[in-house]
Structure 1
Amino acid sequence: MHEEKQKGLTLLMARWVLPMTSPPIRDGAVVIEGDRIIAVGKWKEIAREFSAEVWEFPDGILMPGLVNPHTHLENTNFAETIKRPQTFNKWLLQMVRLVRSQTFEDALRASEKGIGQMKKFGVTCVGEFSRLGASFHALRNSGLRAVVFKEFICLRDEDAERQLDELAQWLEDAKGLMNTLLNIALGPHAPYTVTPNAFRQVIGLAQRENCRICVHAAESPSERKLIEQRKGVWRWWLGSVLRDAPIGLSPIRYLDWLGALQPQTLLVHCVQVDENDIALLAERQVWVAHCPRSNANLKVGLMPLGKMLSAGVKVCLATDGLASVDSLSPLDEIQFAIKLAQEHPKLYPALLPNHWLWMVTLNAAASLGLDRFVGSLDAGKQADIAIFRFSASIDDPYDALLSEGREATATMVAGEFIYQRM
């Protein structure tokens, strides 16, 4: 070992290190220089090569920071008033009333509260769907890595020019406030809340600005009935949005007609899909964020995860927002998904624990276009790390992580601790 500590180096040691791109390392270590990982390996080997400030977690699991690719931080406080479980249609009406009465300051405080919860759960990166833009400001000062999708709703073409100008202005203003941890993107809300003309213009804006888009899609039976048949309870409320759209297309095929299905697109939910939809999602290389707890609480059905994965659809797991789930913990989401696999083996595959964890690390990072930087512990990547402590001896770190809901001991982003529970 070097006689003097090498300047600027930090060494994290743990009982287990989970790189995610290679097998778990018992008695492992990660070396960090500035905001980047420079080495990963066995503690004894690492210690011989590097001398650095050491943080020891002898009873812990050290892994890539968890990535939550879809949530609504501005809705955090709605958890106190909104009923769940309930049907999606009733929930949506209640949500409309809540968001109409929400101020920017309300949304800012709610976002800060949700950010605090995510840090405790080991989340280092988030895909945020922002209605008012308040969560963008909260995340800017949070220490978290984020992609903020600015929500866009346009129910009438008469309003499209003004609303698109406002969206473009928001993008321009946000660019001036961005930092190295924060990215901006666009969120055309859903196929039933944006007119075809306006939707295509949002896609064009995203292409010009080279940014990603996120869309809620194929979430409920009511959505599919409205888009495909112009029938159902939403017909009188939202049917005019689709005035210039063809009838007979599923929500997924309708989005393809619009040109929205691209590798840079993240679709959320995709519960109400058939085999043709699944094949199209695979062909277009679209990312899908699966939110099983939200789907259950809003009674919209079960996503055919097994068929999705078999067809080659790229799937990650997300929590959605606290208006429809009980926590912003990706590990809670996995535990619920595992229960679904046990209860519905025809729809859900019995994935190995490490496969589930990929869905909230490397896969989730890829869905946000950030897998070159985060999602695994590899030399050259950003030092975004979550550490979980255990009181008992651990033989299988994957099973240990998924055995029960737990908070992180420490959460690090870009080489800086943003949360510690010592």
Structure 2
Amino acid sequence: MLTIDTLLFPRWIVPVEPAGVVLEGHALAIDQGRILDVLPAVDAAARYLGRITLHLPSHGLIPGLVNAHAHAAMSLLRGLADDLPLHEWLTGHIWPTEGRWVSEAFVHDGTQLAMAEMLRGGITCFNDMYFFPDVTARAASAAGMRACVGLVVIDFPSAWASGVDEYLDKGLALHENLRHDPLISTAFAPHAPYTVAPATLERVRTLADELERPIHIHLHETAAEVDEYHARHGRRPLAHLDALGLLSPELLAVHMTQLDDAEIARVAETGVHVLHCPESNLKLASGFCPVARLLAAGVNVALGTDGAASNNDLDMFGEMRSAALLAKAVAGDAAALPAGHALHLATLGGARALGLDADIGSLLPGKWADVTAVDFGALEAQPLYHPLSQLVYASGRHQVTDVWVAGRHLLKNRVLTTLDADAIHQRARAWRDTIANG
């Protein structure tokens, strides 16, 4: 009998690969941070001895959820300026508040608050775009959480950098410092075509090609944005990025609510990934991402929450349900985004967009043990006929009991093991008082 680090005996395992498979009466074996085996429970009990063995008789195990687009530190701005259209929300409220308050302390405390929320909701990896990405990276690494941090670029100065040259210089230095961190990766993060000049986007493309890093950008978020850009530049933003050579499998295009058939075909042809944020788009009335048409064209679609300032939570269970229901309504087809595919968007789709699908996003031997346990035992989850459908259409983040990242138990029976929840709570209240009274 082989002694290993952790042996989990759930009721169900939903590995995501192969698609649609639900394994009942199986076990998950973890050793040295990676998944060693997925096998029938009877065989696991005969083959392995876990230093830690956990029986989860009413639970399902799923891959850790991947939040493919977030502004983690903006959790401190949750609810600050609700029920406003995007332009007014951003330019009249969010940017002025950020200009006054964003600092290393703000980003550290906001990121810790966001990570606590995400881990308690089964999220093990997030793709972030915000100022002071070095602070975000340190906070995530210290907490044991997986993150892709954005090397932010924007045409106006901030507390992080005075201009484009400094944004890029600091980003390159951070990328170099993080090259050997097993949990943290990087992506270039120009904010949007309307806030980053074409010459800067060309510089970003050149650097991204040299370093083989993704480019994470807001794109085609609203009709007004697209129309204004077309009036100013003579073509739509996607076409402009195409002319600059940015459309490729390295481009992570966030929102994409305004797409015609030719644009969908071009996105599919060039391998662009679409990062879909359904609840933020609904709340800001930005439009509807044509998910069913993108998937039919062969585009990889991932799922994100956006920031808590525009959502207002970091709840990937909510995003899965909203994405599935919205896709059906937009397509006029009840089969447009089945439950299993919604889970794919929230796991393997996100991992693929970030270039991490060889290591995370599904529960296969050899991958990192990024695992979420969901309890289906409560009254509200009864009766249970199909675990996959139950997971997407009738489950909530409050049912997440345990989370592992690279085999490390970061949430244990709803208790965070690497983050001080009380201290995070206190600092969040202090920031609220400071910002509200400022």
Q: Is TM > 0.5 for Structure 1 vs Structure 2?
A: yes
Identify the match of residue 421 of structure 1 among 408, 413, 420: 413
CA drift at 1:342 = 4.8
Match of residue 293 from structure 1: 279
Q: Take 1:162 and 1:360, find their aligned partners in 2: how far apart are those partners?
A: 35
Match of residue 233 from structure 1: none
- Number of residue equivalences: 398
Match of residue 362 from structure 1: 348
Q: Take 2:197 and 2:208, find their aligned partners in 1: how far apart are those partners?
A: 16
Q: Take 1:187 and 1:27, find their aligned partners in 2: how far apart are those partners?
A: 43
SS across alignment from 1:359: helix
Q: Take 1:394 and 1:61, find their aligned partners in 2: how far apart are those partners?
A: 12
Match of residue 214 from structure 1: 216
Does the CA-based 8 Å contact 1:68-1:319 persist in structure 2? Answer: yes
Identify the match of residue 330 of structure 1 among 284, 305, 316: 316
Query: Match of 2:120, as an amino acid?
Result: K
SS across alignment from 2:346: coil
SS across alignment from 2:25: strand
SS across alignment from 1:175: helix
CA drift at 1:305 = 1.7
Deviations 1:313-335 (A, max 9, x none): 22111111101112212111011
CA drift at 1:348 = 8.1
Match of residue 67 from structure 1: 66
Give 5+ residue unaligned stretches, structure 1: 231-246
Q: Take 2:32 and 2:323, find their aligned partners in 1: how far apart are those partners?
A: 36
Moved more, 118-127 or 74-83: 74-83
Match of residue 78 from structure 2: 79
Does the CA-based 8 Å contact 2:328-2:337 persist in structure 1? Answer: no
Does the CA-based 8 Å contact 1:227-1:251 persist in structure 2? Answer: yes
Given the alignment of the two structures, is residue 12 of structure 1 paired with residue 14 of structure 2, yes or no?
Answer: no
Match of residue 425 from structure 2: none
Moved more, 320-329 or 390-399: 390-399
Query: Match of 2:270, as an amino acid?
Result: R
Compared CA separation, residues 348 and 311, structure 1 to 2 (3 A): farther
Match of residue 108 from structure 2: 108
Given the alignment of the two structures, is residue 406 of structure 1 paired with residue 402 of structure 2, yes or no?
Answer: no
Q: Take 2:123 and 2:194, find their aligned partners in 1: how far apart are those partners?
A: 31
Moved more, 126-135 or 263-272: 126-135
Match of residue 237 from structure 1: none
SS across alignment from 1:273: coil
CA drift at 1:41 = 1.8
Compared CA separation, residues 341 and 56, structure 1 to 2 (3 A): same
Does the CA-based 8 Å contact 2:229-2:237 persist in structure 1? Answer: yes
Taking the TM superposition and a 5 Å limit, the aligned residue runs for 1:17-96 are: 17-22=13-18, 23-52=21-50, 53-83=52-82, 85-93=83-91, 94-96=93-95
SS across alignment from 1:412: strand
Query: Match of 1:406, as an amino acid?
Result: R
Match of residue 147 from structure 2: 146
Taking the TM superposition and a 5 Å limit, the aligned residue runs for 1:259-298 are: 259-298=245-284
Compared CA separation, residues 221 and 279, structure 1 to 2 (3 A): same
Given the alignment of the two structures, is residue 194 of structure 1 paired with residue 196 of structure 2, yes or no?
Answer: yes
Match of residue 236 from structure 1: none
Does the CA-based 8 Å contact 2:249-2:272 persist in structure 1? Answer: yes
Q: Take 1:346 and 1:80, find their aligned partners in 2: how far apart are those partners?
A: 32
SS across alignment from 2:117: helix
SS across alignment from 2:55: strand
Does the CA-based 8 Å contact 1:71-1:318 persist in structure 2? Answer: yes
Match of residue 239 from structure 1: none
Deviations 1:314-373 (A, max 9, x none): 211111110111221211101112332454343885322111100011111001000000
TM-score normalised by L of structure 2: 0.87
Give 5+ residue unaligned stretches, structure 2: 415-438
Compared CA separation, residues 347 and 168, structure 1 to 2 (3 A): farther
Query: Match of 1:316, as an amino acid?
Result: A
Query: Match of 1:395, as an amino acid?
Result: Y
Does the CA-based 8 Å contact 1:372-1:381 persist in structure 2? Answer: yes
Compared CA separation, residues 302 and 162, structure 1 to 2 (3 A): closer
Taking the TM superposition and a 5 Å limit, the aligned residue runs for 1:155-174 are: 163-174=164-175
Does the CA-based 8 Å contact 1:59-1:393 persist in structure 2? Answer: no
CA drift at 1:268 = 0.2
Identify the match of residue 235 of structure 2 among 243, 249, 274: 249
Does the CA-based 8 Å contact 1:383-1:412 persist in structure 2? Answer: yes
Match of residue 241 from structure 1: none
Q: Take 2:383 and 2:31, find their aligned partners in 1: how far apart are those partners?
A: 30
Q: Take 2:335 and 2:291, find their aligned partners in 1: how far apart are those partners?
A: 7
Moved more, 257-266 or 336-345: 336-345
Q: Take 1:140 and 1:164, find their aligned partners in 2: how far apart are those partners?
A: 27
RMSD: 2.0
Q: Take 1:330 and 1:275, find their aligned partners in 2: how far apart are those partners?
A: 28
CA drift at 1:155 = 5.5
Q: Take 1:141 and 1:333, find their aligned partners in 2: how far apart are those partners?
A: 27
CA drift at 1:421 = 2.2
Match of residue 379 from structure 1: 365
Compared CA separation, residues 275 and 343, structure 1 to 2 (3 A): closer
Moved more, 217-226 or 305-314: 305-314
Does the CA-based 8 Å contact 1:25-1:41 persist in structure 2? Answer: no
CA drift at 1:126 = 0.9
Match of residue 430 from structure 2: none
Query: Match of 1:410, as an amino acid?
Result: D
Q: Take 2:234 and 2:245, find their aligned partners in 1: how far apart are those partners?
A: 17
CA drift at 1:280 = 0.8
Does the CA-based 8 Å contact 2:152-2:167 persist in structure 1? Answer: no
Does the CA-based 8 Å contact 1:305-1:349 persist in structure 2? Answer: no
SS across alignment from 2:49: coil
Compared CA separation, residues 117 and 260, structure 1 to 2 (3 A): same
CA drift at 1:176 = 2.3
TM-score normalised by L of structure 1: 0.90
Compared CA separation, residues 347 and 400, structure 1 to 2 (3 A): closer
